[in-house]
Chain A
Amino acid sequence: MTDEEITFKVFRYKQGDPAPHYDRFSVPCDENTTVLIALQGIRRDHDPTLMLRHSCHHASCGTCGMRINGKEELSCVVKVLDLGTPTVTVEPLENLPLVADLVVDMDGFYQRYTAARMPYIRQSEFNPGAQPPEGIDRYTRYENCIECGLCLSACPVVGSDAEYLGPAAMAAAWRVVEEPHDGSGQRVLEWVDTEHGCWRCHIAFECSEVCPSNVDPAAGIMNLRRKLWLSSLLRLFGINR
C-alpha cells in the first residue's frame, strides 16, 4: 500500500471573520483513506480548530455531508484517491446557514423534516400483530432517509425560495401518505399542497441524484402531486376521497 500526497483545499470561516477563505493542507492518502479520515488527519496533525460534523463513519448518521470537488457527498464514504484529482476541494453544504468552517446549522432542516412525523425505523420486520399494506415490499424505504441535507444543498429551488419545504421533508411526507399510521395522510397532503410545497419543485431531480441512501425524494414529490391531482379530479366529479 503506497501513500500519495493529496492537497486539500479547505473552506474556512470563523464567526467574526470578515470573509471566508481557503486553507491548503497536504495529506498522505492510501486507497482506503476517505475524505473524512483525511480531514480528521488535518485536525490532528495540522489544525485542531478545523470544524466538521461526523459520527458513524459508514453513511448511516448523515452528519458528514459536504461538497467535495463541488458535489454533495458524505465524506465518510468517498475515497480520496477515487476522486482522481491532485487537489480535493471541500466546502460546506449550500442552502443551510453556515456555523463555521465545514459545519452548517441543521435546525431549520429538522423543523421542516419533522413536520410530517415519519417514524424513522420499522420497529419490527416480523411483528405478528402488524397488518402492513399490500405490496409493502415494493415500497421505496423513504424512512431510510439519514437526514444529511445533501438534497437540500443540491436542490436549485431551495436556494431561491426560503419557504420551500424541500425534498427531504416531502420524501418524509410521501412516506406518511403512502403508509399512514394514524390517519395522518390527509393532514400531510394539505401541508404539502401549497406554492412552497410539492408544486414548487422544478423536477431537476438533483435531490435523488445526490441522495446517499437511495431514498429518491423526487419520486416522493411526484407521487404527492399525482395523489393531489387525482383527488382534485375526483372532486370535480363529486367524489370525495
Chain B
Amino acid sequence: MESYHALIIGGGGTGGALAHDLALRDLKVTLVERGEVTSGTTGRHHGLLHSGGRYAVKDKESAVECIEENLILRKIMPGTFEENDGLFVAITEADVEYSRLFIEGCTDCGIPTHQLTRDQALALEPNLSPNLILAVQVPDATMDAMRMALRFFATAKHNGAAIRAYTEVLDVEKTGGTVTGVRVVDHRSGEESIINADIVVNAAGPWSGRIADMVGVEVPIRPSPGVMLALEGRLCNMVINRMTPSGDGDIVVPQRGLSVVGTSSWVVDDPDNLGLPPDHIEKMYAEGEKMIPAVRKAPFRAAWSAARPLIGPRGADTGRELSRTFKCFDHVDEGVEGFVTITGGKATTARGMAEATANVVCQKLGVDAPCRTRDVVTLPHTAYFTG
C-alpha cells in the first residue's frame, strides 16, 4: 500500500502551494483532487494580485499579508504578472473622504501609495469616468489565475510530489482517534484504493466542510460566492478599484485580452450549486460603468460565480463581514490526531498559507526543515505538463 508523510486533499492554489512547500522540505507528499487541478475556486477568481489596499482600512491583518506576499510572488514567479499597478478611483465626494482613511490605512500596513490628480490619472487610463476626482496608485498587479497556481504544482511535481487529478476522496481512514489515510477513487479507471499518510491536510476550500464531516470534526467554513463579468478587450491597463469600503462591483481587472468586473458576495450551503443571479450580473455593469463607462458597451464574454472559502460562524449572511485572512486548524483539540485543515485566504496569500500549514505539519511530524518557498523561483506553468 502506498504511504506518504503528508497527503493533501484539494488541488487548488493552497493545496498546490503546500505540496510545493513540503516537497522542498524533502517530505514525501501526495495531493488528491477530484477534478482537474484548479477546477474549484482557484481558477475562477478575477486575477488580481492584491496590493492589500482593498483591506487596508477594515481588515489590516489581511492587508499586511497581501503586501508581503505580493512582493514575494513577483520574485518567485517572474513572467506571471502584468505589473501595471492599480488605481483606487474617487468619483464622489464620499469617495474623496474615504481616500484619507485609505491612504492612512495603507501607510499603516506598509502599502506604498501615490496620489494622482484627475488629469494624471486620466492620462494613464483614458477610459476612466469623467466624474473622476482623484486616484491613488498602489502596487496591484494582474495574473492569469490558473497559470499562477500551476507554477506551484509544476514545481512540486518536479521535486517529487505525486499530484493526482481526477482522484476523489470517498472516505477518511481512522484508527481510534488518529487519521491514517484516505480511500479514493480514480475517475480515469473507476479503481478504488487506500493511500496512507502520517498526516492528512484538508485544503478543499469551500468543500473543506465536507471533508471535515467525514472525519467528524467542525470546520467553520462559509462558502461565499461572488459573481464576475468578463468583457472583451482591455478597458484599462491598471487594476481599477473604487475608492469605497469593499462592495459589489468595486473592481475592474484587465487580464490579457479581457476585462473582468467583480464581484458580489452571498453565502450558500452547497459549493457545487452556486447559481448565477441575473441581478448580480446587472450590478456588475451598473457599478463597473461608474468607474469606466465603456463597461456597459463592451462585448460580453462570460459571467460566472466562484465560491470563496471564508471562515465564519454559521449565520453570517452576506460574506462581507467575514475576514479575508486564513486559518490553520489542528484538530487535535477535538480529539483527532493526524488531521489538519487550512482554509480561508485568497490566491495572493496562498504561499503564506502554505508556509504556516507546512510549519504545523512539520512540527507534528517532528521534522526540522525550514521553509524555502520565499526564495525558490518556481518553474513556468507549462512545466506542469512538460516536466
Task: Spell out A's residues near B (CB within 8 Å).
Answer: 1, 14-16, 32, 34, 37, 40, 44, 48-49, 51-61, 63, 76-77, 99-101, 103, 106-107, 109-111, 113-114, 119-126, 141, 143-144, 147, 213-214
Contacts and interface: CB of A to CB of B under 8 A. Distances in A.
A34 B305 CA distance: 12
7 contacts: A15-B188, A32-B276, A37-B276, A53-B36, A55-B39, A61-B43, A63-B36
A121 B39 contact: no
Given A106-B385, A114-B386, A57 B36 contact: no
Nearest to B80: A121
B272 interface: yes
A222 B12 CA distance: 40
Contacts of B117: none
Contact of A61 (B81, B84, B144, B273): B144
A77 B144 contact: no
A15 B187 CA distance: 9
Given A110-B385, A126-B84, A213-B257, A44 B146 contact: no
B312 interface: no
B79 A100 contact: no
B310 interface: no
Contacts of B124: 126
Contact of B386 (A44, A54, A110): A110
Task: Indicate the size class of the contact surface on chain B.
Answer: 35 or more
Given A15-B188, A59-B302, A111-B386, A126 B237 contact: yes
A57 B237 CA distance: 22
Contacts of B258: 58-60
Given A44-B272, A44-B273, A57-B302, A124 B188 contact: no
A107 B382 CA distance: 9
Given A58-B258, A59-B230, A15 B302 contact: no
A77 B301 contact: yes
Contacts of B256: 60, 121, 141, 143-144
Interface string B292-331: 0000000001111010000000000000000000000000
A217 to B, nearest CB: 15
Contacts of B306: 57
Given A60-B255, A110-B382, 17 more contacts: A16-B189, A32-B278, A49-B185, A51-B166, A51-B187, A54-B36, A56-B44, A57-B304, A59-B301, A60-B144, A61-B147, A100-B187, A100-B189, A103-B188, A124-B82, A144-B257, A147-B382
Contacts of A122: 82
A85 B32 CA distance: 37
Nearest to A40: B272
B338 to A, nearest CB: 26
Contact of A100 (B145, B166, B273): B166
A55 B145 contact: yes
B145 A103 contact: no
B303 A121 contact: no
Nearest to A1: B278
Contacts of A48: 168
B309 to A, nearest CB: 17
Interface string B161-204: 00000101000000000000000010111100000000000000
Contacts of B272: 40, 44
A110 B379 CA distance: 14
Contacts of B382: 110, 113-114, 147
A15 B82 CA distance: 40
With a 10 A CB-CB cut-off, give which of A55, A59, A114 has the most chain B CB atoms.
Answer: A55
Given A60-B255, A100-B166, A121 B43 contact: no
B172 to A, nearest CB: 17
A123 B49 CA distance: 13
Nearest to A13: B188
A119 B255 CA distance: 15
Nearest to B149: A55
Given A48-B168, A121-B256, A76 B304 contact: yes
Nearest to A145: B256
B145 A77 contact: no
B289 interface: no
Interface in B4-50: 35-36, 38-39, 42-44, 47
A24 B52 CA distance: 47
Nearest to A53: B36
A222 B385 CA distance: 28
B68 interface: no
Nearest to B277: A32
A16 B257 CA distance: 41
A15 B39 contact: no
A81 B166 CA distance: 29
A111 B38 CA distance: 21
B43 A103 contact: no
B83 interface: yes
B145 A123 contact: no
B243 to A, nearest CB: 22
B387 to A, nearest CB: 9
B228 interface: yes
A110 B380 CA distance: 12
A125 B189 CA distance: 46
A32 B79 contact: no
Contacts of A1: 278
Nearest to A32: B276
